[in-house]
Amino acid sequence: MTHKKRQYIASLKDFLDEKVSQFNRAHFIENDPISIPHQYTKKQDIEIAALMASVLAWGQRVTAITNTKEFLHRMDGTPHDFVLHHSQKELKPFSDFKHRTFNGTDALYCIEALRHIYQNHHSLEDAFAIRESDETTEFALTHFHQLFFSLDCAPARTKKHLSTPARKSACKRMNMFLRWMVRNDDRGVDFGLWKKIKPSQLVCPLDVHVERVARKLNLLKKQAANWKAAVELTQALRILDPRDPVKYDFALFGLGIEGEIFN
């Protein structure tokens, strides 16, 4: 590494660390989908609320948050208990649920898949099957997707709503969900409920804001915003912090939303 590049990396780390501190605060929660699982205290309720908030986190954020709240309201505000103990009558309100292309068929299958998982696992964390040797969560995400859609009744249309690296997807929303569950820095935003996946194994969520800023900062070269690009960005962020590279999601996303110096 040249002296000039070392200088650039050092100055970039200082800049992004400052932005992480600025954006990784409690005020971040209010207008973000992570506000939804923050309404719960039981571990499994947080997991279910977080998963559905991430699955539905596309389109306008206000609409996505409103619709996710409605989804959980139809579970009587007790997601884990509802998933395990609902009656057929209690499922009827989900048949007309809709958020963009996510519809009643998708909603009902998600409930059934979650029921199957929680009947066999104490936590959704167990369904990700991370391995100590894994550099990233690629295997874990692929395993979870396969398990989630392992039921005979799995509709083909629902598979597009939960991404997998097996389809070369950047898995933006699933990586966001894992960040919420795994990272724990006592800043009050991410939950840090899961311990089997290490923060160093996480992959940065690659949304349009993060991608744009990452390219401006020469952290991302690949043209397609796919899984390889998400891993490339994460590898660059590991140079700045090997143990917790995805903390820089706050900085890149915040800079992208505010448009600071990148217009």
| Secondary structure (H, E, C), 85-151 | HCCHHHHHHHHHCCECCECHHHHHHHHHHHHHHHHHCCCHHHHHCCCCCCCCCHHHHHHHHHHHCCC
> Which of 153, 170, 195 represents a domain boundary (last residue)?
195
At which of 195, 217, 249 does a domain end?
Answer: 195
Mind listing the pLDDT tens digit of every residue in the chain (263 residues)?
576 777 888 899 999 999 999 999 999 999 999 999 999 999 999 999 999 999 999 999 999 999 999 999 999 999 999 999 999 999 999 999 999 999 999 999 999 999 999 999 999 999 998 999 999 999 999 999 999 999 999 999 999 999 999 999 999 999 999 999 999 998 999 999 999 999 999 999 999 999 999 999 999 999 899 999 999 999 999 999 999 999 999 999 999 987 755 44
- Quick one: how far is CA 36 from the chain centroid? 13
pLDDT for the residue 9: 83
Please give the radius of gyration of the chain, using alpha carbons only, rounded to the nearest integer.
19
Measured distance CA(51)–CA(184) in Å, rounded = 18
Same domain, 164 and 249: no
Question: Domain check: are 85 and 44 in the same one?
Answer: yes
> In angstroms, rounded to a whole number, what is the distance separating the alpha carbons of residues 249 and 20?
8
Half-sphere exposure of 229 (CA within 13 A, CB side): 22
Among 58, 48, 155, 68, which residue's Cα sits nearest to residue 105? 155
CB within 8 Å of 80: residues ≥ 6 apart: 42, 44, 45, 47, 48, 118
pLDDT score, position 1: 59
pTM score: 0.95
Residue 261 and residue 208 share a domain: yes
**Domain boundary at 136, 168, 195, which?**
195
Asked if residue 25 and residue 43 are part of one domain, the reply reads no
Give me the number of domains the chain comprises. Answer: 2
- The number of C-alpha atoms within 13 Å of 243 and in the hemisphere containing its C-beta is 2
Distance separating alpha carbons of residues 157 and 104, to the nearest angstrom: 11
pLDDT at 3: 62
From 171, 121, 128, 126, select the one nearest 146 (Cα to Cα): 128
Q: Do both 130 and 233 map to the same domain?
A: no
Sequence-distant (≥ 6) Cβ neighbours of residue 209 within 8 angstroms: 252, 253, 255, 256, 257
- 156 Cα distance to chain centroid: 22
Whether 101 and 167 map to the same domain: the answer is yes
Q: Are residues 120 and 181 in the same domain?
A: yes
Q: Decide: 208 and 202 in contact? Cβ < 8 Å.
A: no
Q: How far apart, in Å, are the Cα atoms of 2 and each of 6, 8, 16?
A: 6, 10, 21
Smallest CA-to-CA distance from 207 within 220, 194, 191, 198 is with: 220
Containing domain of residue 178, as a range?
A: 36-195
If asked whether residues 92 and 167 sit together in one domain, one would say yes
End-to-end Cα separation, the chain, in angstroms: 30
